[in-house]
Amino acid sequence: MAQVAITAERLTKWFGAEDAKTYAVRDASFEAYWGEMLYIVGPSGSGKTTLLSIISGILRPNQGKVNVDDRDLWSLTEDEIADFRLNTIGFVFQDYHLFPRLTTAENVAIPLVLQRRRWDEALRAAAHYLDVVGLSDKANLRPAKLSGGEQQRVAIARAIVHEPAILVFDEPTASLDGETGRKIVSFVKNEILNPKRCILIITHDSRIFAFSNRIMTMEDGKITGFAQGETYEAREA
């Protein structure tokens, strides 16, 4: 049986106060496992991004607990939470968030620079992970010279250069055509996912549902169910 990587217990997050209170996440409980690619799907405004922000140490819940990699996340100090985000979490965003004036290698090296690693060491590691994602020949190019799929692979290399245990993807295929999106997610599942890593993906893209291990659905801030990727894709079709 796979070991638990993340446990969320009755997470609740609201904004505002009293009569103006708006719930983004309501009483959300689930487990995610090492070696698993878990998708989180649901309509816009269903609480997906808020939930992942809580699990990633970005947004403090009003109620509930999160245990990630054997740590009670929101019992940590602010400095410890910052270290957790820097060392345990890797982020991949819909719009890549690459720095236009930096080369591909320099973009990938940024997490290691934030860890105060030496610049030459960070660039060597960046070169290695660019090779992992198949872009070793693009190391000295700037993002504007890359295709959308190549920029997404650079973002993935940057997310994994510091070897985080948890990877969080927010709509990773939204800016890509169908074939490129499928290739990116297939690559992530076959080359980046491993028994010591857990990957969480927010997506609306039914074209990539079959690559998931499980799909968790949300609506109105609540977790409404779980399904296997192929089963969910067939139902949606």
Neighbours of 137 (CB within 10 A): 10
Strand residue runs (E) in 16-147: 22-33, 37-41, 63-68, 71-72, 89-92
Classify the phi-psi angles of 143: left when phi > 0, otherwise alpha if psi is within -120 to 50, otherwise beta.
alpha
Q: Domain span at residue 57?
A: 4-236
pLDDT in tens, 111-170: 999 999 999 999 999 999 999 999 999 999 999 999 999 999 999 999 999 999 999 999
Count up the domains in the chain and report the number: 1
- The structure's pTM equals 0.90
Q: What is the pLDDT of residue 69?
A: 83
Q: In the prediction, which pLDDT does 1 show?
A: 65
CATH at 103: 3.40.50.300
Query: What CA–CA distance (Å, rounded) separates 175 from 77?
Result: 36
